[in-house]
Each structure stands twice: as C-alpha cells, then as structure tokens.
Structure 1
C-alpha cells in the first residue's frame, strides 16, 4: 500500500530534480476569460426612488409587507442613496440582496444625500440623552418620539415618519443610522374600549 511522501516541499523538489521521486501532477488550469461563461446583464432595472408597487414585486422574495413599507416611505418623500441602506432597512438576507443588486438603480432627486455614521441607534430603547446627542433634534420632536414609543414601539421608518409627521429629509438622514429593536408591548386597553 503506497503512502504519501512525508518530506517537506524543498526536499521533495530536490528528490524530484534528481529523479528519485516522480514529478507532481500538473495543477488544473482555470478557464481563461475568453472561455468563461459571459456574465448575463439583467434585462430590466428598477429606479429605487421612483419604483411602483408592481416593479418592486418583480424582485425575487419581495413581500407585500416590504412593498408597502417602500411605497409608504416613497410617498413620504424618502429616498435611498445606496443598496446597502435598502437591504439593511428590509433586513434582506445576503443571498437575496445579491439577487436584487443588479436590478437596482439609485437616482437621487433633489439635494445631495446625507452622510450617515456607522453605529445605529435604537429608537425604541436608547435613553433620551443618547437620542438627543445622536439625532440633534429639537426638544419638542424628541419629547414626541419618547411619548409615542411609550404608547407603542415604532415598527419601522414609515411608522416613525407617520406618527411623528417627520419631513422626508429627516427620515432620509435616519436611513442606516437607526434600528427598531427592543420592542416591548405597550399598555393594553381594558376590554370594550
């Protein structure tokens, strides 16, 4: 029964050079760029900031809930500047995100998109001082946010925009910067109310 050679690679090369060991089998070659299968371009595109519900539904795995959220944000004037913000908002699995990416086009309509920091803040759980420092909102708006989240945690950006009557620019500045974790049920009303 033949055993693999135990020598280190340098000793193996020396023994192969003097003919005491057979040469290594040639490594498999990769096909050249001209032989590789061509990358297929998508046959349709979606303008993320102007797409209709029907266009969103063409994307694989785009649920009715996602479409509703995206249309509500669009109607509120919110725009996306990059795919990763969209994927983060929808909590899209990476495999599905890569299937969407070739179809997405990001045209910006209006002023330049805002820059976003990397650490997201939790609008349902972070303390008021943390929110004030991160958001730099007027005190009345921050008080309204705290009051509304006590009543019922925010579900997503569209819910936040509608309940606080936020302008589109404010919501756009939050994309990629906030999350809506740590939801806890609000106080329940007595039956019959």
Structure 2
C-alpha cells in the first residue's frame, strides 16, 4: 500500500497543484472493498483569485474569451468569493460548474466581500436614474457610464472596469448585481461589390 503524505488533504492538493509536492501515486491493485467506491479527489486545484492563464485553461470548457476576461479582472484587483460569482459572470451551465467545482479554491486576499442584495441591473439598458439610485456612485461616474454605453455597449465587468477606470472594490461590489444585456448585434458591414 502506498504511503500517504502527512499533510491534510487540502494542503496536499495545493502543494501538488503548485508543483511543490509530487502527485499521489496511482492506486495500487484493487480496493479491498470494491463495492464502496470512494470519490476520486481532483489531482489539481487552482486559487481562483491568483490563477494563471495556463491554470484556467486546464478547466474543461474554459474558452480563451473566459480566460481573457478573468485575467483582466484579476489584474484590476477583482476577487471572487464563490463559484456562483464565476457562473454568473461567465454564464456557465450547471454541468460545467459541477466539473469546475472540485478544482477551485476561493481564497479571499483582503477584506471580506459584500454579497448581492437585489435583482441584477442592466448596465447597458437601465435608466440613468435607476442606475444612480442602485449603484450609489458619484454623479460624474454615472455620467461616464452613460456616455460610454452610448458609444458602445459594455461587454462584461472587465470591459466596464477598463473603460470607466473603476477601482477593484467598485467592481467587486457589482459581481452578481449587474448584467450586460441589450447589446445590439453590432454594425452591419456594407455588401461587397
């Protein structure tokens, strides 16, 4: 029987994911109780708030667009506290969420996050007065948001953060509280002739 490392399972997984500890050896032989299958724990985990592009790409179904958006938010200082934040932000189907869940570790680096308290606002379509009362932002920031969305609808939180130069805390407060609907299909190209 292979000897297990003395660290607790979570610490062992993190050290293995970082490459500081070798992977557990494959199960040798058959279990002495084959009818009692134990769930296999993931061989790697990522810290969602510190993950690299390569780590995100390990997740099944994680597209380059998702990786780009997550890294842009991370560079802007945004952190996630639960898988539901990611699911809503990336519009993940439940099956994909369940595939990702065993591999994700949510470590908060700093003050505790605020949880959403109301129905999501549509930053591309809701009236300025509604946005001002729900977001409680300074008037000049609301005016920049309105001007920017007229120029081009916002695509996601990373786009919003970059175009409005929002601090990380302002973006974190929006996770789960906003959506980016009402985007037109885009300008049509003139026919080639």
Q: Return the TM-score normalized by structure 2.
A: 0.77
Which structure: larger Rg? 1
> Which residue does 1:126 correspond to in 2?
126
> Which residue does 1:149 correspond to in 2?
149
Give every structure 1 segment of 4 or more consecutive aligned residues whose post-TM-superposition deviation is greater than 3 Å: 33-36, 185-188
> Which residue does 1:83 correspond to in 2?
83
Q: Please report how far the alpha carbon of residue 187 of structure 1 lies from its aligned counterpart in structure 2 after TM superposition.
A: 8.0
- Gap regions ≥5 residues in structure 2: 1-32, 189-193
- Gap regions ≥5 residues in structure 1: 1-32, 189-193
CA contact (8 A) 1:122 1:178 kept: yes
Q: Please report how far the alpha carbon of residue 114 of structure 1 lies from its aligned counterpart in structure 2 after TM superposition.
A: 1.4
> Which residue does 2:184 correspond to in 1?
184
In 2 relative to 1, CA 37–176 (structure 1 residues): closer, same or farther, beyond 3 Å? same
| Residue 106 of structure 2 is aligned to residue 106 of structure 1 | yes
CA contact (8 A) 1:144 1:164 kept: yes
User: Aligned equivalents of 1:114 and 1:34: distance in 2?
Assistant: 45
Q: Please report how far the alpha carbon of residue 183 of structure 1 lies from its aligned counterpart in structure 2 after TM superposition.
A: 1.1
User: Aligned equivalents of 2:181 and 2:133: distance in 1?
Assistant: 19
Q: Which moved more, 1:37-46 or 1:51-60?
A: 37-46
Q: Deviations over 1:84-116 (max 9, x none)?
A: 011110001111110000100000001111121
Q: Deviations over 1:6-41 (max 9, x none)?
A: xxxxxxxxxxxxxxxxxxxxxxxxxxx993421111
The number of aligned residues is: 156
User: Aligned equivalents of 2:59 and 2:187: distance in 1?
Assistant: 38
CA RMSD of aligned residues (A): 1.8
Counterparts of 1:8-47 in structure 2, within 5 Å, are 35-47=35-47
CA contact (8 A) 1:85 1:176 kept: yes
